Structure 1
Amino acid sequence: MSRTRRVNCIIPPHLLDKLLDSEHTGVRKAALDTMLTTARLRGERGLRASFVGAASAGNGRRTVFDCQQGRLLPTATLAQSEDGAASTDESVRRAFDGLGTTRDFYRTVLQRNSVDDRGMRLDGYVHFDVKFNNAFWDGRQMVFGDGDGTLFTDFTRSLDVIAHELTHAVTEFTAGLAYHGQSGALNESMSDVFGSVVKQWSLNQSAEVADWLIGAEVFTPEIDADALRSMKAPGHAYDNELFGKDPQPDHMSHFAHLPDNERGDFGGVHINSGIPNKAFYLTATNIGGSSWGAPALIWYESLKASSIDTQFQGFADTTHQKAEELYGAGSNEQLAVLAAWQEVGIQVSGVPAGVARDLGRAGRNGAPGRTAGQDTGGAARDDGLTALNRQIDALASQVASLSKAMTAMQREHVTRG
């Protein structure tokens, strides 16, 4: 199967584009250098992609290398491995620990053996280039820039960024979602989802308590911004003169139709990901408790059941189906999924629009979902089933009327005959 693979970077092109208009020479230069280096890496990506399937197995063994501000990964020096002593370099230790936490999450929670489910080694490279404002997964390894110190900090500081990038590998080895348009936005969203879930798991935070921010540690204290993205409130992660306003939509009515090229973010993959991001946030908070329980399992199983060209509608339908398979028809989990997609403007195929309306309204009003330990039924399930039963009764009545009409027509035909 042919798959579109790219260097997956945490900083979207539209942010770097904005920085090129800065009045500060240093900011413009750092942005330009980052864009040029990223373009060069994309040019090399095709060669790397041919070796993806040959990545050596090693039970998820971690190795971190120090690029020492160089750009050539083969010349980087070994900094920390599973068998060696802990490095004195904070960036090395953070990268090593972040790789381990993400690996342990997938192994412990989702029973996945490293990103490829075959024990693929996890290699990380720190101190890449000079003032490189990005972090990326290139198909074989994770690479971290130090940031320019003015706008961006060392990218190893953010666990959800590390988990985000490694999840691109998980997606590549499962659905292989093509990196453009809606499938690309789903690709980015899957990385945001599990980036946030890994962080919440590591902190033992409930869905209600979590901040749902992606890359909150990436900006320097001088920058007036919460994070790169907000899953709870897409479009509200930042709003300042330097970066402009966060362009992410949280509803299909605001879907951004952008060119399918680098300047257009390949159809807005980092922008339109706000829609499925919000759907996952709503699902998790409507269910209540930990996001790494039912919500993560539903999304993970749906990812594995998806294909290279899966669109928003198809993914929504799959999450509904997986929720039923895992937790039962009409379960609180399934109704939470229905209400979440409804809230972002996507109605699950084949489901009457009235189902989950009450649950969706509760989400809009900020009412909390079920907390850990509560019955998975409750009012949400009752309301949804009541609506569904009404629809079934109405259909049954229509069928009965049609049956009577057909019987009458047959009798009349016999009489005339």
Structure 2
Amino acid sequence: MSRTGRLNCIIPPHLLDKLLTNDDSEVRKAALHTLLTTTRLRGERTVRSSFIGAAAAGGGRRTVFDCRQSRSLASAELARSEEGAVSGNVSVNRAFDGLGTTRDFYTKVFQRDSLDDRGMRLDGYVHYDMDYNNAFWDGRRMVFGDGDGRMFTDFTAALDVIGHELTHAVTEFTAGLAYHDQPGALNESISDVFGSLVKQWSLNQTAETADWLIGADVFTPGIEADALRSLKAPGEAYDNSQFGKDPQPDHMSRYVNLPNTELGDSGGVHINSGIPNKAFYLTAKRIGGFAWEAAGLIWYESLKASSAETNFQEFADTTYQKADELYGAESAEQLAVLAAWQEVGIQISGVPAGVARARSLSAGRGNGAGREDGLAALTRQIGTLAAQLKELSADVTGLKAGK
């Protein structure tokens, strides 16, 4: 069983709970079925293999299986392998490509050898169960439901969802963040952050042009919702009669205290993740450029330096320290980190609030201002040097004329 001992699902329980009151009996039926199936999976130790088996080196090789609407993973048919031909099944190919894109992202951006950094094989299972409104990582493999066709669609369609779920494995093999309260919300946030970065990397998007949404492709066309979550604007991903209002906070003053139970979302791990999500977005936006470069590297190195019970404050302090180690004290990158955490209500330890506020102003307010301010200063310096050179040239010309 994985160190977190949890089944990591992309659809939070509060969304499925809301659907239990839907006017459509088929929607209620699918939601209840998904909740019951997920609860059963969480209770079955046989579903999750030990890390020893999961971590067997395989060069990050991909294999996708077709469950054919069954809940039995053991009886799923091989649908596509690393050496095999392209499948005639769209879901199989999307899962295969998504596994590969996420693997390649970690390899090329962070030089990580698959999810465990030891070449772990990547297994995916599609067409899991009937009307199953979820996708999950079970400690060994990625499993995709097809959705009920009314609220949710095939989960293989969302690359950021695949990146999100596979990042749970990266977290398991690094910090091993416990799945409750703040460590659990940080666990979910890390998956949102890198799930978004996988999508941005695949589309070659900058922090400015990215949508910063998670799960924009999991809803059916008739559902009025932007996505499951928004890193840019937590609390604004959706607001409709089917799901209610997005409950994610974007500031510590709005932190939601929930019980560490299944009904309480393990202390609100899918809800309070909005706070560190916003901090990452603000950091990336202030730095500018491609978010997986500086901001992503700071977060990745901070994840590796964290432990099971790391909370928001400790992680914020670590990102500030890593920004210093990677880019220097009071660099644009470190000031962006400082300002971002301050904006979501977390002061970096050891940096007085007044000092933090003054320093953060130099990091700018959005639109990559941190680097733009540095560029502007360099431009001014070049302009000054050019003017001085012009004056010097004029002086030399005058001297020559006076001879």
Structure-1 residue corresponding to 2:19: 19
Amino acid at match of 1:225: A
The unaligned stretches of length 5 or more in structure 2 are 379-403
Amino acid at match of 1:220: T
Residue 322 of structure 2 is aligned to residue 322 of structure 1: yes
Structure-2 residue corresponding to 1:84: 84
| SS of equivalent residue, structure 2 residue 353 | coil
Q: Does the 8 Å CA contact 2:167/2:191 hold for their aligned counterparts?
A: yes
1:199-238 to 2 correspondence within 5 Å? 199-238=199-238
Q: Does the 8 Å CA contact 2:302/2:319 hold for their aligned counterparts?
A: yes
Once the two structures are TM-superposed, the CA of residue 226 in structure 1 deviates from its matched residue by 0.2
The separation in 2 between residues aligned to 1:362 and 1:244, in whole angstroms, is 39
Q: Does the 8 Å CA contact 1:283/1:337 hold for their aligned counterparts?
A: yes
The separation in 2 between residues aligned to 1:378 and 1:3, in whole angstroms, is 48
Structure-2 residue corresponding to 1:401: none
Amino acid at match of 1:30: A
Once the two structures are TM-superposed, the CA of residue 368 in structure 1 deviates from its matched residue by 4.1
Once the two structures are TM-superposed, the CA of residue 355 in structure 1 deviates from its matched residue by 3.4
Structure-1 residue corresponding to 2:33: 33
Once the two structures are TM-superposed, the CA of residue 377 in structure 1 deviates from its matched residue by 9.1
1:1-150 to 2 correspondence within 5 Å? 3-44=3-44, 46-49=45-48, 51-55=50-54, 56-150=56-150
| SS of equivalent residue, structure 1 residue 260 | coil
| SS of equivalent residue, structure 2 residue 70 | coil
The separation in 2 between residues aligned to 1:371 and 1:156, in whole angstroms, is 36
Q: Does the 8 Å CA contact 2:208/2:367 hold for their aligned counterparts?
A: no
The unaligned stretches of length 5 or more in structure 1 are 380-417
Between Structure 1 and Structure 2, how many residues are aligned?
377
Q: Does the 8 Å CA contact 2:183/2:310 hold for their aligned counterparts?
A: yes
Q: Residue 340 and residue 6 in structure 1: after superposition, are their counterparts in 2 closer, same or farther (change >3 A)?
A: same
Once the two structures are TM-superposed, the CA of residue 47 in structure 1 deviates from its matched residue by 4.0
Moved over 6 A (4+): none
The separation in 2 between residues aligned to 1:122 and 1:187, in whole angstroms, is 20
Tell me the alpha carbon deviations over residues 239-296 of structure 1, each in whole angstroms, 9 at most, x when there is no partner: 0111000000000000000011011100000000000000000000000000010100
Tell me the alpha carbon deviations over residues 98-157 of structure 1, each in whole angstroms, 9 at most, x when there is no partner: 000000000000010000000000000000000100000000000000001111010000
Structure-2 residue corresponding to 1:300: 300
Structure-2 residue corresponding to 1:172: 172
1:340-351 to 2 correspondence within 5 Å? 340-351=340-351
The separation in 1 between residues aligned to 2:368 and 2:61, in whole angstroms, is 40
| SS of equivalent residue, structure 2 residue 369 | coil
Q: Does the 8 Å CA contact 1:8/1:168 hold for their aligned counterparts?
A: yes
Q: Residue 133 and residue 50 in structure 1: after superposition, are their counterparts in 2 closer, same or farther (change >3 A)?
A: closer
Q: Residue 365 and residue 307 in structure 1: after superposition, are their counterparts in 2 closer, same or farther (change >3 A)?
A: closer
1:303-382 to 2 correspondence within 5 Å? 303-357=303-357, 360=360, 366=366, 368-370=368-370, 375=374, 378=377
Structure-2 residue corresponding to 1:284: 284
Structure-1 residue corresponding to 2:397: none
The separation in 1 between residues aligned to 2:357 and 2:221, in whole angstroms, is 42
Structure-2 residue corresponding to 1:389: none
Q: Does the 8 Å CA contact 2:332/2:371 hold for their aligned counterparts?
A: no
Q: Does the 8 Å CA contact 2:335/2:360 hold for their aligned counterparts?
A: no
